[in-house]
Each structure stands twice: as C-alpha cells, then as structure tokens.
Amino acid sequence: MGASANPGFASPTEGWFTSEGLNLRFVEWGFPDKPAIVMLHGLRSYAHTWEPVALPLLDNWRVIALDQRGRGRSDWDPKGNYYTEDYVRDLEALADHLALRRFVLVGHSMGGANAFVYAARHPDLVAALVVEDMGPGASASSGGADRIRRELNETPSSFATWAEATAFWRRIRPDISAEALQSRVTHSLKPGEEGRVTWCHDALGIARSRLSAAPDKIVDLWPHVEALQMPTLLVRGANSDFLSAATAEEMCRRNTRIRRTDVQGATHYVHDDNLAGFNAVLQDFLSRLAGSFTSRS
C-alpha cells in the first residue's frame, strides 16, 4: 500500500471549522473521492504526528487529521474545557463540516478515548475503529498515567534554546525514533519572547484539566467499549506502561468485535516508537475493509 507517485498525494491541505466558538484546524492528505480516515492525536500532540502513518495509505484512502482544541494551530479554549465531552463535540462538528457519512476513526491515547466515545454514539458514521494504546482506567490508575502526571508537573513553560527543547523531548520519550522526535520539535514548539522557545499547545490549560479534573469530567470508557458495533483494532505497545495487557484482554472479552495486536519495540507511543510495526498492523486491518466502502465517504 505504497504512496502514489502523484505529488499531490503527499501535499496536505489545511482546513478550518468552528466548534463552540473555537476555530479549529485540520490537515488532509489524498483526494476527496476516496473513503475517509479521521485521525485523533494524543494529549500533547498535533495533527501532523499522523503524517508518516497517512502517506502510505493514500492510494486507497483520504486521511484527515485534527488539531484538537488547544493544540497545533487550533484555538486555545479560554475556559480551559479540555475534556472528553468537549473533544467529542468538536469531532461531531468536524464530521458535519466535511459532510462525512461513513469513515474509519483512529485515535491515540487521549484521542483514543475520544474515539471510543464518538464511535459508540455514532455507529452509523464510524465504519471501523482503530485505537492506539488506550483503554478503560488507563488514564487514572496506570503507571503510565502517573508518569504523565509527573511530566505535566515538571514541564517547563519555555526553553532557552531549540537544543534544550529537543533534549527535553528526548528525555521523556527515550524510545522515540529520530524522525518522530524531529516532527515533535517542529510541530509542538515555536519561537517565543526574548529568543526563547515555547509550546504551540496550551500547556498550562491542558495540564490543569488533566491534573485536577472534577469527577463529573472523567468518562468511564467501559460502557463505550462494550457498546461498539463496528470492527475495532486495539493496538497496544508491547512495552506500554499505560494500557496493561490484562485490560486489553478484558476489552476483547467484553466485546468480541475488538481485535488486539501488540506491537513489539513500542511503548505507549506506538507509532512514534515503531512506525513500521504500527503501519503494518493498521494497513492489514484496513485491507480487510476493502469493498465495504463506496467510492465517496
């Protein structure tokens, strides 16, 4: 499933839509007459994290990646509403804006939680679901959740140099590939005041919502996992400290539509750590959907 020689495939276009008064950006690869895949990034990520996943798919798919609120070039929420229900409403607005009628939904970590909830609520729109290293309880009580909370508390608001910023990402993502590290530096950081380097995302607001969420803001994913009605691929990093093997097994037991695959040489950040492994299992899953889509999504 290699990328076409047509250079238009590899050149993303940029689009904007409004959700709850926020201007949100998405990037899109491929041609609009192909069936659509919508991709949702994780907590401190951005739409372009999906580029190396998207490019090999473009002979057969149109790929749309969202800068979720507070990230990338999308607006920051002045009210600090960075919770699952807010992200799901944004995704509903995106699907309406693009008039998507039947699509594949892919989500990593936080984006995976959002994808579970959206897919359970919209089985008529989501033809298939792919979730990268997310499951019920993982954000609250896993070793990875504790690590992420420490990282949020210890993340500087800015850096003296680009080299210092790069070293920070390398320190907290020791298994990340060189290419993924460069992507993260390019798309998550920007020049700040007085020559410093600062974040593209709303670091303070996102950290506050993640660290001090009220109980009514925390979504129990089990009912959504159990309600899924579409083929679902659960991709777990074999070395993940976030989604346990036991939880992944229980998800498959409770809903037989879920197929689980562990990618070797990967932590919670599967497509950053082992892109080839992630792409292989994703492409195999997508190939099994061939013929179930019309020419337009």
pTM over 0.85: yes
* Strand, helix or coil for residue 53: helix
Domain ranges of the chain: 7-142+214-287
Amino acid present at 206: I
Q: Which residue has the tokens 């990093």?
A: 237
pLDDT tens column, 254-292: 999 999 999 999 999 999 999 999 999 999 999 998 767
pLDDT band at residue 6, thresholds of 50, 70 and 90? very low
**Who's near 196: CB < 8 A, 6+ residues apart?**
158, 159, 160
User: What does the mean pLDDT of the chain come to?
Assistant: 94
Q: Are 12 and 51 in contact (CB under 8 A)?
A: yes
State residue 292's pLDDT score: 73
Q: Which two three-digit tokens encode residue 65?
A: 């990646």
CA atoms within 13 Å, Cβ hemisphere of 214? 4
The dihedral built from the CA positions of residue 199, 26, 76 and 120, taken in this order, carries a sign that is negative
**Who's near 199: CB < 8 A, 6+ residues apart?**
157, 158, 188, 189, 190
**Who's near 135: CB < 8 A, 6+ residues apart?**
221, 225, 234, 243, 244, 247, 248, 251
Q: Are 132 and 106 in contact (CB under 8 A)?
A: yes
In terms of Cβ atoms closer than 10 Å to its own Cβ (0-12, 13-18, 19+), residue 103 is buried
State residue 138's pLDDT score: 95
Identify the residue with better confidence: 83 or 292.
83
CATH topology of domain 7-142+214-287: Rossmann fold (3.40.50)
Identify the residue with better confidence: 141 or 1.
141
State residue 184's pLDDT score: 97
pLDDT band at residue 9, thresholds of 50, 70 and 90? low
Look at 3-12, 56-65, 243-252 and tell me which has the smallest mean pLDDT.
3-12
pLDDT band at residue 1, thresholds of 50, 70 and 90? very low
Counted residue by residue, the chain has a size of 297
Q: For residue 150, report the phi and psi dihedrals to the nearest 5 degrees.
A: -65, -45
Q: What is the mean pLDDT of residues 45-55?
A: 98
DSSP-derived secondary structure for 202-248: -HHHHHHHHHS--GGG----HHHHHH--S-EEEEEETT-SSS-HHHH
